[in-house]
Structures are given as structure tokens and as C-alpha cells.
Structure 1
Amino acid sequence: MTTASVPATQAKGGARVHIQRFGTFLSGMIMPNIPALIAWGIFTAFFIDVGWTPNADLATIVGPMIHYLLPIIIAYTGGHMVYGNRGAVVGAIATFGVIAGSDNLIAQFNAQLAQTDPNAAPLGQIHMFIGAMIMAPLAAYTMKWLDKLWEGKVKAGFEMLVNLFSAGIWGFAMAVLGFYPIAWLVNGLMNVLSAAVNWLIATHLLPLTSILIEPAKVLFLNNAVNHGVLTPLGLEQAAGPAHKSVLFLLEANPGPGLGLLLAFTFFGLGIAKASAPGAAIIQFIGGIHEVYFPFALMKPMLIVALILGGMTGVTTNVLFNTGLRAPAAPGSILAVIAQTYQTDYLGVILSVVLSAAVTFVIAAIILRASRKRDLAALGDQDAFERAISQTEANKGKSSSTLSGLRTSAAGSGAAAEAVATEAPEREVSAIVFACDAGMGSSAMGASVLRNKIKKAGIEGVTVVNKAIANLDGTADLVITQNQLTPRAQAQAPDAIHFSVDNFMNSPKYDEVVDLVKRQREASE
């Protein structure tokens, strides 16, 4: 196995790193199921009684889909993340217990309410998204722990019997646990959170959430808030009489990021100015907000511009009473418009435009005020590079989109990238790009290297992307961002490991191509 040096800063981060990991875990349960949320949003857009094309028969899909299907598939995903298919099944069973328990508690409450106050409106269903995100990992982890108790102690021929019955019995036990205490706990939590959000809306204080959300985005702490609180609460509101929620726009609004990047486009200097226009397109159209974080980190004062822009957008949506039918993921203007409630296009679009305008004006003032000092320091070509690296460090993982901001001049700093120091002995035919989720950044990096290998005329080499947790020992060479390399080495100790700082245009890709080419030539 080859080794790679690891930055000393990796061990730093403390509570922020733990929150990032927690947010990443929550995001891992929600993000793969966004297509189901989009499908549900389409059903509501067209077929409910206030939809584009009302259809009473097809509208019957809307309720069961949000009440049963969406929490169950989130539970299945969360259980699978913890303990594979076995954890997924047990997690889904346990979550169904939470759903039924919640419905039972609400039915009892409504029965008592009807006796004491016949004219009072009954309490509606609570959809167990938070319940699924709590119960499924808990059930999967305990199943994994129980399996270890009798691992290697089952007589030959009884393994299947024990595996099936143990999972079924434990799923039953966890469903009962979910039916009683967990359902009661989640119902109470949802009531408290809903009351808090309604209070913020009623008192017109919802824009103040930008004071927390905008800095959290720059520090990559937003997943815990967005997927842990805003998405479940937004879905509760969207399933109600309004069929929409402003909460979906608190974090997804692409306006503030666009305004900041436009300010750098017109008033920035050096590499930041040259990179800003392309970053604006990726952020606004592609919905990858992380590309503007390094720009904010270059001048932390610019976070003020983001906060005020975000507050402007939220205020506009509150005044116009606008919202989205379902989460806009990724945070692209196209996704935002696609999920906008049919009567709310003016307010939503205006919120994006105004938030971008306010951020642009304030950021431009800040940039102009510090222009002389920035010109004097323009010789430091590494400033923007350090800001990008700091952004990736805040995120806790690499990003091909952030790396794409680096120009060829930044490539001359490739010495900062760690790479294997031992001569590889393993013939390379399977290359894997690995990151936390195994999706966006690693997929783009794999695409870049795949094209390089194709142009080099090399055949018989596969280049794929995976989550680090899914590395199974079949990879001959693994490429990871430098902060993730130790985890990848532990997961795939026999592979050759390349550690890079730049997933999008790293010069190390050429070294990988040369390595494979030399191996092919030597074997001929």
C-alpha cells in the first residue's frame, strides 16, 4: 500500500466537525430520496383541488405518499447507511411503528377534543420524517450490535433461520418501541418546532434566521439545520391547507450567492475576479452554492452582505406569502422555479432578484472600500487558493466544483498536494474516486480522469466514483481529497492511494495516466 501525508489541520475543527458529520449523515438520508419528494411535489402541483389540473382520483396518491412512502424510504436509506440491507429493513419496520403510534396519539387527542369542544378543529397528521431519521439509524445500529453477540456461535445450517428470525423479532420490538415512547417524543418535538416557526412567521421575525443560516452555509453547518429541521417542517406545512412552505427557501435561495459573485465580477481583483463569472453560472444555474464560499472567506466581512441579502429574500417571501411545494434541491434557480407554488412566481422570483441585488450592493461597497489594500496585496497569488482550501477544510471534504475555481496558476502550487511516496506494485485496472457521499465531487473528478485516460488511448481501465464507506477492496487505485485519505486507506488498505487537494483539475491525474501507461507498456 502506498501512503500519503495528511495535513496537520485535519484533526482540528472540534464541535464544528461533529456538526458537519451529523449534517452529512442527515443529508445522506434525505438527498437520495429527493426524486421522491419532487414526484410528490408534481402530484400536488397538478392533481389536488387547487392544482393546475385537479383530479380527485389521482389526488388520493398525495396523502399516503407523504405520510407513508416518504418516511419509509428515508428510514430504509438511513438504516442501509448504518447496516446495509439488514439495517434498512429493520429501520423501515421500526419507523412504521412510529408512524402508527403518532396516528394513534392524534386519534386519541381528537376523540377527547370532540367530547370537550365539538366545534374545535381536529389535529391533523404529523408526518414522521424526523421520526424516520431518529428511529431507522437506532434500529439498524442495535441490530448490528445484536448480530455481533452471536456471530460465529450459530451452528452450521441454521444461519439463515437465525438471521431472518432475529431481524424480524428485533424489527417487531423496535416497532413497539417506536409506537409508544418514540412516537410521543417526536410528536411533542414536532409540535414545539412547528409552534416556534409559526411564532417567527406571526411576529415577522423569520428573516432573522438568515443571521444563522448564511454564516452556517459558509462553514458547511447548514445540512444539520436544513435536512434536520427545515425540510421536515416545510413538508408538514406543504402537506397542509396552504400546500406550500417558505421554509424551503430559507437556505435554497440562490440570490445572495449570485449577488456576491457578481460583486467580485465587477469589483474583484486577480484570480477571484477572473473566477467569479464562471462560478456565478455554476451557483445560480447548477445550484452548487459552495462555489461562492471561498469568496466570502477571503473577506469575512462579506458575510454581512450575505446575511442582509438573505434577510431581504425571506422578508419578500413573507410579505408576498409565497413558498415552494417541495424542497428545491439542488439550490438552482431552475429547481426553485419548478417547485414554486402556482400563484407565487412573482414573489419568489422577486425574492431572488432583491436578495441578489442587496448582497451585490453591500458586497460592492465592502470590496471598493478595501480596494487599495487589496491592490497592494495583489502579489500574494495564494490568497484565493487559501480561501478555497479553507472552504474545503470547513466542509470536511473535497469538492470538484470548488477545485474548478482554481486557475492554472494555482496548479503550480501542486506541491501542497500529497501523493504516494512508495513505488506502486499493484497493476491498475480499477480506479475509484472516493468522497463522503460518493456523488457530486467524486463523480466530476472521475469524469475528468476518465476523459484523460480515453484521450491517452488506454483501454481496460475503469474509473468510477464511490462513497468511502462503500470501498470494498476491489479498487486498485483510490483517489481522495487529502483530508479523507486516511479514512480511505483504512477502508481499502491494499489499494494504491493518491491524495489530491484539487478534484477538478489536479496535475496528479496526469501522473495517474502516466503510471497506467507505463504499466501497460511494461506488460507488453
Structure 2
Amino acid sequence: MTTTSETKRGGTRVGVQKFGTFISNMVLPNIAAFIAWGLITALFIETGWLPLLGIDATWVQQLGGWSSDPDVTNTGLVGPMITYLLPLLIANTGGRMVYGVRGGVVGTIATMGVIVGAGIPMFLGAMIVGPGAAWVMKKVDALWAGKIRAGFEMLVDNFSGGIVGAGLAVVAFFVIAPAVTAISSFLETVVSWLVETSLLPLASIFVEPGKILFLNNAINHGVFTPLGTVEAERNGQSILFLIEANPGPGLGLLLAFAVFGVGLLRASAPGAILIQFVGGIHEIYFPYVLAKPLLVVAVIAGGASGVLTNVIFQSGLRAPASPGSIIAILAQTPPGSFVGVILSVIISAAVSFLVASIIIRASRKTDLAAVAAGDTALADAVAKNAANKGRDSQVGSLLSTSGGDAAATSTVEPQNTAAVSAPITSIVFACDAGMGSSAMGATVMRNKIKKAGIEGVTVVNQAIANLDGSADLVITQRELTPRATEKSPNSLHYSVDNFMGSPKYDEVVALLESQKASK
């Protein structure tokens, strides 16, 4: 009975992880567009930086969409970007995730229906219609797969895509747009009620544990970014951008370890502070909480106090701060919110530090004894963090570069060894989102290949969902290797734990050198 319950919980967790990853992966690749929109908004709208500095030339008014000249009909960049560009990018990304380029095109066509039908920024609609339309197109194509006469493939593909896209756009206009508008209005009403009743800080009770366990990107980019962007377009700023992205709670926690911690947890904390607070990689502090689960109380208290500060000062950001670095946060802070935003970071860090210090000091004697006995709490917590997320984690590699060998390197042998004899000209580092840890691993590998004097080998990073089987060698975090093998079965696969410093990289370089010598 216990085994069945555990299996069910594990299956549920994996399902939630996959759903959260899918949602966040529609937004994450497009964060640069959100930031661009935020910068344009911050500079050019009527209450933006340039008008406040007295720079209100016609071109500024045109770009901001508030020109006082009756002959100027330019609507500016701010409105069209949030109404059309951002939702269509999300829809295209979601469609591509389901059915490649064809799915992205059809998903984008269909999403125009929900955008025009709603008349408001349709992020939620784009997340539903984009991948949904791609799925429909995939099923329609399957109906006549292998039955089209040679020479008619392009004709059928183009017209079927156009017909399905047009039909779904009409359905989205009349059916989906009203439903999603109602859902969006309800969610906005709930958020407004929480703000007005000062209950929004209670969100930290769910947000902070959710971040630490496995849903940090899904919470921020899948929920708060879409809702916050709509609110920012209407009010010029949104507090929702700071609920998850505030670096204060993590800063306070790491400071407590730097002052009162013991062993590797204390030694690695200063480097982790720089990575978390300045670099904006909040995941760096998750293993510290997992090493002492009671510390979740500290980050909840810190997060809630930060949100409460922003509620009191009615402060927020113009656009998402991604990554959650203090630099990114200040760059997206409107002039009237600097006091509230800065205080929210300071107060949340102070509260988190105070609560964490009490918890850490209470177990100091036990921790010292564990260190003397060869404690591996941080390494175990890093492994647990990766297991909780169900995907790759760059935390182990970052902590190992900031204070010690936090995570052991994988000893997993390469998968699909039959592919070893094939010439290797393309190497792909694959992770869940195709950014972050895999990008750093690709950089390390490129440097090693360059240093070895090997030419003609490309090294790139991408999401596992985008693997198309063309890579000669694929490197992934070991929990992701089965998925990567399924997506690219003919490739040689290497599994690693540490994207920043695995000895497997030297094996790959040696393999490339032997390949070069045999020519």
C-alpha cells in the first residue's frame, strides 16, 4: 500500500513538473522581448524616464504613443508590443514545442483570433491556443500521412495548414477569447482583492516552497509574468513581478549561513551570495534549504515581508526582472517605486536572516559533530534539489566553483556506444529550457576543444524538446539522458552531474583527438 502511494505521489509530482516546465518554456525563451518592452515603456511613456527628464520631443511621444500632435497617428510601440508581439511569440514557441515549425505557424495564426477577439493582452490565451492549435494540426496531418501522391506534398501541407489555422482563428475569436477573457478578469480580480486586503503576502506560503521543490520558473514565468505584464500595461507597474523574483529572502538565508553556518555550507555561502544576489540565479540557495528543511520558514517569512513592504509602498516593476538579480530589478523599477522596491529587498533579507540565524544556531553543535564525522549535507542537498526538479540543475557546478566540491561528477558511461565510431562534428548540450546550465557547459566544452587545437566541431546548447536527431553527440544531466536518448536515438549520449567541470569532457576531447589522428 505504501509503495502504491509513493508511486502515485511520484507520478503526480512528475506530471506537475512536466506541466510547469511546459508552461515556463513557452515564456522563458521570450524573456528578452518582455525586457525590451519594459525598457521601451520605462523610457518613452508619458511618465517614463525621458519625459521626466524634460525630453519630450515628438519622436519620444511617437514611440511612447502619447503624442499631443493631432496630426500624428502613430500609436507607439508599447501597446502593439504587449497586445500582439508578446502573445504571438509565446504562441509560436508553444506551437513549436508541440509540432515544430509547422505547429508554431498554425499556433500563431490561431492565436490572432483570441487576441483580436479579446481586445486585451492575451498571454493566457496564447498559452492555450498556441500549443492547442499545433496539436490539432499534428492530428490532422496524421490523417493522410503517407497517402499523398508524390509532388503534391507542398500543396497539401500549405493549404491544410492555412485552412486549419484560419478555422481555429475563427473558433478562437468567437469561443476561446470570451472564455479566456473571463478567466483573466477573474484572476486579476483575485489579485486586486489580495492587494487591497493586504493578504498578498500570504502568497509566499505557497510560492517559496514551490520554488525550492520544483516550480520556480513555472511560478514566475508561467503565472506572475503574464498577469503582471497586463497589470503593468494598465498601471505602469506591477507588484507581481516581485513576488518570486525578490532576491532578498535568498540573500538573508545565505548571509545566515556565511555568519553562523559550519563546514562546506558556510564556506560556499559567500560565493553563492554573489551568484544569487548579483547573478540572479535563485536556485543556488535551494540546496541550503533542503539541507535544513525547517529553513523554509525563513524564506517564507522573508518573502512575505518583502511583498508586504511593496503593498504598503504600492511599489512594483515595469516588466519582469529575469534573472532575479538586483541589477535587473533596479533597471525595471519606475521612478516612484525605488524606495519601496529597495526597502522590500532589504527588509525581506533582514527577516530571512533573523529567522534563519535562529534555526541554524539552534543546531550548531549537531552540525559541528556532523562535519567532524565527514558530513556531506550540501552534496546530498544538491542531489536532492536535482531530483526534486526532475531535470538538470546548475547548482552543483556553481557551488563547486564557489566553495568546494558540492556535487560529485557522474560516473555514468556514455549511452549508445555503437555511435562512438561515427565521426563527431556536432555536439549539443541539452537541458530542459536550453539556456542557463547547458549554455555554460557548452562554453566550457568549446574552450577545451579550442585549447586542444581541434577544428570543425560545433558545440551548441538547446532544449531537449528541440533535439532533432542530427547531433553526433549529446551531453545532458543524467536525469535527462533517457529523454534525450528518446529524442535523438542515433546520437552518442554522455551523462554528467556537473555541467561546469565534468571529467567526461576530457573523454570527449580525447575521443575527438583520436578521431583527428585517424584521418
Taking structure 2 as the reference length, the TM-score comes to: 0.90
5 Å matches for 1:119-268?
A: 126-240=120-234, 242-268=235-261
5 Å matches for 1:353-392?
A: 353-378=346-371, 379-392=373-386
Gap regions ≥5 residues in structure 1: 1-8, 104-125
Residue equivalent to 2:23: 26
Report the alpha carbon displacement of residue 355 of structure 1 after superposing the two structures with TM.
0.7
Residue equivalent to 2:441: 445
What is the SS of the residue equivalent to 1:344?
helix
Residue equivalent to 1:400: 394
Residue equivalent to 2:12: 15
Q: 1-side partners of 2:109 and 2:425: how far apart?
A: 41
5 Å matches for 1:369-518?
A: 369-378=362-371, 379-406=373-400, 410=405, 413-414=408-409, 417-420=411-414, 422=417, 424-518=420-514
CA contact (8 A) 1:272 1:384 kept: yes
What is the SS of the residue equivalent to 2:459?
strand
CA contact (8 A) 2:280 2:326 kept: yes
Measured against aligned partners, the alpha-carbon deviations of 1:104-155 in whole angstroms (never above 9, x if no partner) come to xxxxxxxxxxxxxxxxxxxxxx311100000111001100110011111112
What is the SS of the residue equivalent to 1:325?
coil
CA contact (8 A) 2:255 2:270 kept: yes
Distance change (3 Å), C-alpha of 1:66 and 1:310 = same
CA contact (8 A) 1:102 1:183 kept: yes
What is the SS of the residue equivalent to 1:398?
coil
* Among candidates 31, 46, 49, match of residue 46 of structure 2: 49
CA contact (8 A) 1:481 1:500 kept: yes
For residue 205 of structure 2, what is the amino acid of its counterpart?
A: I
Residue equivalent to 2:267: 274
Report the alpha carbon displacement of residue 267 of structure 1 after superposing the two structures with TM.
1.4
Residue equivalent to 1:66: 82
Residue equivalent to 2:115: 99
Residue equivalent to 1:84: 100
Q: Percent identity?
A: 60
Q: 2-side partners of 1:26 and 1:41: how far apart?
A: 21
What is the SS of the residue equivalent to 2:335?
coil
What is the SS of the residue equivalent to 1:498?
strand
How many residue pairs match? The answer is 491
Residue equivalent to 2:34: 37
Measured against aligned partners, the alpha-carbon deviations of 1:429-455 in whole angstroms (never above 9, x if no partner) come to 322211112211111011112222223
Alignment root-mean-square deviation, CA: 2.1
What is the SS of the residue equivalent to 2:461?
strand
For residue 195 of structure 1, what is the amino acid of its counterpart?
A: T
Distance change (3 Å), C-alpha of 1:298 and 1:146 = same
> Which deviates further from its counterpart, 172-181 or 448-457?
448-457
Residue equivalent to 2:3: none
> Which deviates further from its counterpart, 453-462 or 218-227?
453-462
Q: 2-side partners of 1:396 and 1:82: how far apart?
A: 20
> Which deviates further from its counterpart, 400-409 or 187-196?
400-409
Taking structure 1 as the reference length, the TM-score comes to: 0.89
For residue 299 of structure 1, what is the amino acid of its counterpart?
A: K
Q: 1-side partners of 2:349 and 2:329: how far apart?
A: 15
Q: 2-side partners of 1:308 and 1:225: how far apart?
A: 18
What is the SS of the residue equivalent to 1:497?
strand
Distance change (3 Å), C-alpha of 1:412 and 1:145 = closer
Distance change (3 Å), C-alpha of 1:429 and 1:161 = closer
For residue 171 of structure 2, what is the amino acid of its counterpart?
A: L
What is the SS of the residue equivalent to 1:465?
strand
Gap regions ≥5 residues in structure 2: 1-5, 52-59, 66-75
Measured against aligned partners, the alpha-carbon deviations of 1:308-361 in whole angstroms (never above 9, x if no partner) come to 000110011111110000111111111100111111111101111111111111
What is the SS of the residue equivalent to 1:252?
coil
Q: 2-side partners of 1:343 and 1:325: how far apart?
A: 11
For residue 58 of structure 1, what is the amino acid of its counterpart?
A: L
Distance change (3 Å), C-alpha of 1:495 and 1:229 = closer
Distance change (3 Å), C-alpha of 1:413 and 1:159 = closer
CA contact (8 A) 1:411 1:507 kept: no
Q: 1-side partners of 2:376 and 2:188: how far apart?
A: 46
CA contact (8 A) 1:294 1:388 kept: yes
CA contact (8 A) 1:218 1:290 kept: yes
